[in-house]
């Protein structure tokens, strides 16, 4: 059987699939050429990340496809229900990248709390000529310990992010329409662990309490954070979005940054990805990264292993 990993696959996944007798093809086929390639090569499984889409037309045109796999959590680039209605298995790896995303969120939050995102821009330009001026400009940082992290979306990634916050000594408040309470296990290097129970509260209460707000929600038809929600938040709060572009109203966010209502924001995803708005790229109160939440070697190894395991279970 043939597997097309159109957006790449970690060596861990390749090795496991080849050991099970599958042929793994790592060719990156252009979206417009996928139908012809899949049918010509009689592909049984297509694996994608966020670059390749698998829509109804492709599913209908490629009857050899038995499994569509998404290396990651969100599957908004796949017509999931349609594929399943046609008898095609759709799989993903919801747990594999959780901790990597959580660490990226805190890389952004920690950096913003101490102005590192802006200092890293200006030190190369002014570090030699204006060291004292920069020191004064960045001398009013804040600690994360003792602050409140608000989490919107309390699934695997939201809970992993909460676990990092708890280890830092933060209070965690969370909202999720499908979760009332959950227990988070804090595992330490020496084998010890502590379980912390968190009861979710209303979205409005999370917004009111959060010093730092992080979003871990799927793609939505409406903004999760817009002007109305920002007004509810504390003055001087911070926002991080490493979920999906389009869940934060970027125009309202920039306005809140300019007014000082929001002290800083971190974006790993964008409404107009892969061409973020210039007003975002040039804003000194924004900490930015190019959609790299799951882009660690460890996460990709876990993704490869999980995808391989599911494929083998389904087809062997």
216 is an active site residue: no
Residue 273 a catalytic site member: yes
Catalytic hit among 41, 114, 271, 291: 291
Residue 67 pairs with which residues in a beta bridge? 45, 89
Check 244, 250, 302, 306 and give the catalytic one: 244
- Interatomic CA distance for residues 37 and 62, integer angstroms: 10
Task: Please give the helix or strand (H or E) that residue 2 lies within, else none.
Answer: strand 2-5
244 given a catalytic annotation: yes
CA distance 65 to 54: 11
And the tokens for 253?
A: 């966010």
- The sign one gets for the Cα dihedral 70, 296, 113, 187 is positive
Q: How far out from the chain centre does Cα 28 lie?
A: 23
Looking up tokens 């990634």, which residue turns up? 157
> At what angle are helices 98-113 and 297-315 packed, to 10 degrees?
160
Catalytic residue chosen out of the listed positions 41, 103, 271, 273: 273
SS3 call for 240: strand
The DSSP secondary structure of 18-77, one letter per residue, reads HHTT-EEE-----GGGHHHHHHHHT-SEEEE-SS--B-HHHHHH-TT--EEEESSS--TT
Catalytic residues: 244, 273, 291
């Amino acid at each position: 059987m043939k597997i097309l990993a159109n957006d790449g696959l970690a060596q861990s996944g390749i090795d496991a699939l080849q050991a099970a007798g599958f042929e793994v093809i790592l060719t990156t086929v252009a979206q417009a050429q996928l139908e012809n390639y899949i049918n010509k090569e009689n592909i049984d499984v297509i694996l994608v990340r966020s670059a390749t889409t698998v829509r109804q037309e492709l599913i209908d045109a490629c009857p050899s496809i038995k499994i569509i796999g998404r290396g990651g959590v969100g599957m908004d680039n796949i017509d999931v229900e349609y594929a399943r209605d046609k008898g095609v298995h759709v799989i993903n790896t919801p747990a594999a990248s959780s901790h990597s995303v959580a660490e990226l969120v805190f890389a952004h939050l920690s950096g913003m709390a101490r102005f590192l995102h802006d200092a890293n821009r200006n030190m190369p330009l002014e570090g030699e000529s204006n060291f004292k001026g920069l020191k004064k400009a960045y001398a009013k940082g804040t600690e994360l310990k003792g602050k409140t992290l608000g989490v919107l979306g309390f699934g695997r990634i939201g809970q992993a992010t909460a676990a990092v916050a708890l280890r830092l000594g933060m209070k965690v408040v969370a909202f999720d329409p499908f979760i009332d309470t959950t227990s988070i296990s804090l595992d330490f290097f020496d084998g010890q662990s502590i379980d912390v129970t968190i009861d979710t509260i209303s979205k409005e209460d999370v917004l009111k309490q959060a010093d730092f707000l992080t979003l871990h929600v799927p793609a939505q038809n409406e903004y999760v954070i817009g002007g109305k929600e920002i007004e509810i938040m504390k003055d001087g709060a911070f926002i991080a979005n490493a979920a999906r572009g389009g869940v934060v109203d970027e125009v309202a966010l920039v306005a809140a940054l300019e007014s000082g209502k929001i002290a800083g924001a971190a974006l790993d995803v964008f409404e107009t990805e892969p061409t973020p708005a210039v007003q975002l790229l040039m804003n000194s109160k924004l900490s930015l990264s190019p959609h790299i939440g799951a882009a660690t070697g460890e996460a990709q190894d876990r993704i490869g292993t999980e995808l391989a395991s599911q494929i083998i279970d389904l087809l062997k």
